[in-house]
Amino acid sequence: MDRISSSNSLSTPRFRCFDPTNSYPDHTTNHKHYIRTFSNSSFNNNSHSNSTPEMGLLINSDPKIETGEAGYVLEDIPHLSDYLNHLPTHPNPLQDNPSYSAVKQYFVDVDDTVAHKVVVQKNGPRGTHFRRAGPRQKVYFQSDEVHACIVTCGGLCPGLNTVIREIVCGLHHMYGVNTVLGIEGGYKGFYSRNTIPLTPKIVNDIHKRGGTILGTSRGGHDKSKIVDSIQDRGINQVYIIGGDGTQKGVSVIFEEIRRRGLKVAVAGIPKTIDNDIPVIDKSFGFDTAVEEAQRAINAAHVEAESFENCIGLVKLMGRHSGFIAMHATLASRDVDCCLIPESPFYLEGPGGLFEYIKRRLKENGHMVIVVAEGAGQENLSENTRSINQQDASGNKLLKDVGLWLTQKIKDHFSTQQNININLKYIDPTYMIRAVPSNASDNVSCTLLAQSAVHGAMAGYTGFTVGPVNGRHAYIPFHRINEKQNKVVITDRMWARLLCSTNQPSFLNAADSFEDDHEENETEIHAENGESEPNGYNGQSLIS
Ligand SMILES: Nc1ncnc2c1ncn2[C@@H]1O[C@H](COP(=O)(O)OP(=O)(O)O)[C@@H](O)[C@H]1O
Ligand SMILES: O=P(O)(O)OC[C@H]1O[C@](O)(COP(=O)(O)O)[C@@H](O)[C@@H]1O
Ligand SMILES: [Mg+2]
């Protein structure tokens, strides 16, 4: 097995994945290949161990990348045994669980990996793969040894409570774990808030409620204090549920835990209503958000139909990624125009928004516009745009594109066209975020939680779990944190949307898009190479 830095080699030898949770004769030699460990004496969960490489622990934090035949690449995740010697293993208790023991295939095979891309060319390389999630034959924790904790960070998203519930129940029912702590109020809760014990009884009904029973927050990520708190409490499995910001925070926490040489498994569970996390097919809560957005769009349509020259305008979530707006538009069929951050638009002149509005009102007497919150920010004038203002987590604060559009449309039609426009603006953001997850998201949450639990019990650490082409995989942080997932407007999904609304593409007359946004275009093409042809990360909703 070779370890490489990046490239796909077609000439590498035949390969067998090394999985420390299954017994193979080449176990030790293989693993020592990329992580050298001199000692595990620094493992001490009761003092703030500050082991450094100089003190005896040599830690390689490079990505674990292995190659195989025909351009096969495995982007692997860290394992506790990478930096801790002589960790005892135990048979997986699921082997005695009647639900799992009957069929061997319920356990993950050592060679199972999940392909990042499913659309491939006949002679192309096999490409990037991730380790498949699921139960292993061996575990690295005994049931009564596990002290787990769960924290939720960032904005709300439907399904948070379901994930909490299923981690607690998964640990208890599958692995006999009884000690799970809830950290209240996001990252800062590790050092400034109380904890609550979580048992299957306490979490029994929480999936029916919106929000998170643990509370959440932005900001307050203090790596040292968080890891101190983890050590002080004797926690050895950390489940962190949150979005793109949170996953960056998990990565930092994991690095510190590894630096201190702690036997603590760290698992990130991606939560993003905006669907802006790369690699994974989609995040839990997304389907619920799209479904809930239909209510706002329906209301806008009813209003628009009822008044003369009426426009229903709905602002949906999506700071940098227009997935909710795009899918809500495609689902609704009542939307005449969808504006997203990835597709710059303009108001005046041929091919612009005003021209289109005028035509639709003439043809139909009313129209519905859906705008993602991050759309058109480049159009908002300097005095309406909040330059450099950030929330506690460092996210740029956006101005309300809905209010801006409302004003611009009204001004334009009353002064320049002498047409009195009725405009009904709906911002359902917090109503959408606060609902409980729907049935399909509940299933996603359950699978995510269980995959995270299987991974941590098997000693894996420093990973984010998520569906990749419909199969759950353990994804290394560098892949999750390297970029944001965005709608690729050169992919066919955007063409489908343009076709369904019949709106202008805003591409033809916008010379500025080609000239002034050269960097943007490069980015779009680069991303296009990374994404599936359907414009979605993985599984297509509409093929
Ligand atoms: N680059 C980063 N490094 C460490 N922590 C971060 C980073 N970015 C965000 N965080 C922390 O992650 C948490 C959630 O981030 P935020 O952006 O608010 O929400 P989300 O995770 O939903 O994107 C916050 O507590 C924030 O301090
Ligand atoms: O008002 P808040 O709580 O900062 O949340 C608003 C933001 O939350 C989101 O819904 C989700 O953002 P996160 O992924 O950072 O949680 C964004 O679409 C929106 O801008
Ligand atoms: Mg975010």
Kindly identify the ligand whose nearest atom is closest to the C-alpha of 275: 2
List ligand 1's pocket residues with C-beta within 6 A.
153-155, 186-187, 218-221, 242-246, 248-249, 252, 393-395
- Is 297 within the bounds of a domain? yes
The CA–CA distances, whole Å, from 315 to 248, 405, 428, 494, 497 equal 28, 10, 7, 19, 17
Residues 186 and 213 in one domain: yes
Q: Which residues crowd ion ligand 3, with CB under 5 Å?
A: 243-245
Predicted interface score ipTM higher than 0.85: yes
Residue 515 known to be catalytic: no
pLDDT tier, 205 (very low <50, low <70, confident <90, very high otherwise): very high
The secondary structure of 429-444 as a DSSP string is HHHHHTSPP-HHHHHH
Residues 151 and 214 in one domain: yes
Last residue of a domain, one of 132, 156, 176: 132
Residues 127 and 152 in one domain: no
Position 382 scores a pLDDT of 58
**Angle of helix 323-332 versus helix 492-501 axis, rounded to 10:** 50
Residues 180 and 148 in one domain: yes
Positive or negative, the CA dihedral 276, 281, 287, 288 is negative
Prediction pTM value = 0.87
Name the residue range of residue 125's domain: 65-132
Dihedral angle of Cα 59, 277, 403, 362, to the nearest 10 degrees: 160
Last residue of a domain, one of 102, 132, 162: 132
Q: How far apart are the two ends of the chain, measured CA to CA in Å? A: 37
Residues 233 and 95 in one domain: no
Position 21 scores a pLDDT of 64
The CA–CA distances, whole Å, from 65 to 10, 26, 117, 233, 459 equal 15, 18, 17, 34, 18
Residues 431 and 444 in one domain: no
pLDDT tier, 29 (very low <50, low <70, confident <90, very high otherwise): very low
Q: Which atom of ligand 2 is nearest to the CA of 245?
A: 15
Residues 185 and 245 in one domain: yes
Helix (H) or strand (E) holding 467: strand 463-468
Q: What is the mean pLDDT of residues 342-357?
A: 95
Residues 80 and 125 in one domain: yes
DSSP 10: S
Position 24 scores a pLDDT of 34
- Is 218 within the bounds of a domain? yes
Residue 385 clears pLDDT 90, i.e. is over it: no
Closest residue CA from atom 18 of ligand 2: 317
Position 273 scores a pLDDT of 92
- Supply the CATH number for residue 363's domain: 3.40.50.460
- Is 492 within the bounds of a domain? no
Residues 253 and 327 in one domain: no
Residues 79 and 120 in one domain: yes
Residue 372 clears pLDDT 70, i.e. is over it: yes
- Is 195 within the bounds of a domain? yes
List 338's β-bridge partners, or say none: 370
Please indicate whether residue 447 or residue 15 has the higher confidence score (pLDDT).
Answer: 447
- Is 193 within the bounds of a domain? yes
- Is 55 within the bounds of a domain? no
Last residue of a domain, one of 481, 510, 535: 481
Q: How far is the CA of 248 from the centre of ligand 1 (A)?
A: 7
Q: What is the mean pLDDT of residues 460-489?
A: 97
User: Residue 73: what are its φ and ψ, rounded to 5°?
Assistant: -130, 130
- Is 59 within the bounds of a domain? no
Number of structural domains, the chain? 3
User: Residue 312: what are its φ and ψ, rounded to 5°?
Assistant: -95, 125
Closest residue CA from atom 1 of ligand 1: 248
Closest residue CA from atom 8 of ligand 1: 245
* CA 407 to chain centroid: 34
Position 99 scores a pLDDT of 86
Position 529 scores a pLDDT of 35
Position 388 scores a pLDDT of 72
- Is 26 within the bounds of a domain? no
Residues 154 and 276 in one domain: yes
Residues 349 and 442 in one domain: no
Residue 515 clears pLDDT 70, i.e. is over it: no
Closest CA to 240 of 128, 178, 164: 164
Residue 247 clears pLDDT 60, i.e. is over it: yes
